[in-house]
Structure 1
Amino acid sequence: MATSDVLNLDGLLSAQELELRDVVRGFVRDRIKPNIKAWYEDAHFPVEIARELGELGLLGMHLQGYGCPGRSAVEYGIAAMELEAGDSGLRTFVSVQGSLAMSAVHKWGSEEQKNTYLPGMAKGEIIGCFGLTEPTAGSDPSSMQTTAVRDGDGWVLNGVKRWIGLASIAQIAVIWAATDEGVRGFLVPTDSPGFTAVPIEPKLSMRASIQCDLTFEDIRLPDTARLPGAKGLRGPFSCLNEARYGIIWGSMGAARDSYEEALKYSLQRMQFDKPLAAYQLTQEKLVNMLLEIQKGTLLAIHTGRMKDAGTLQPVQISVGKLNNCREAITICREARTILGGNGITLDYSPLRHANNLESVRTYEGTDEVHTLILGQHITGSPAFR
Structure 2
Amino acid sequence: MPEFLTGALGWIIPALVVFGGTALVITAAAWAIRRARRSPKRRAAALADRERAGAALVRLDDAVQELELEVGLSGALYGGEAPNSLRRARITAQHVRDASFEEYRFSGEPETTPDDIRRTASRIQRKTADALAVIQRARAEHSGWMRENVTAAEQVAGERARLAALRASMGDPRALVADLRARYAPEEWRDAARAGDSALAEADEAQRLLDRAAAEVADPSRSALADLAAAERALRLAEADARTLEETHRLVTQAALAAPGEIAAARAALRQALVTREQLEPADAARLGAEIRAITSQLDALETDAATRPTRTIDRVARLRDRLDLALGDARTAQQRLRGARTALPGTLAAARGAIAQAEASVAHSRSGAPARLRLLSAQRELAEARQTQDPVEALDAARRAMRDAEDAKALADFDHTEGS
TM-score by length of 2: 0.28
Higher relative contact order (CA 8 A, sep 6+): 1
Structure with larger Rg: 2
TM-score by length of 1: 0.30
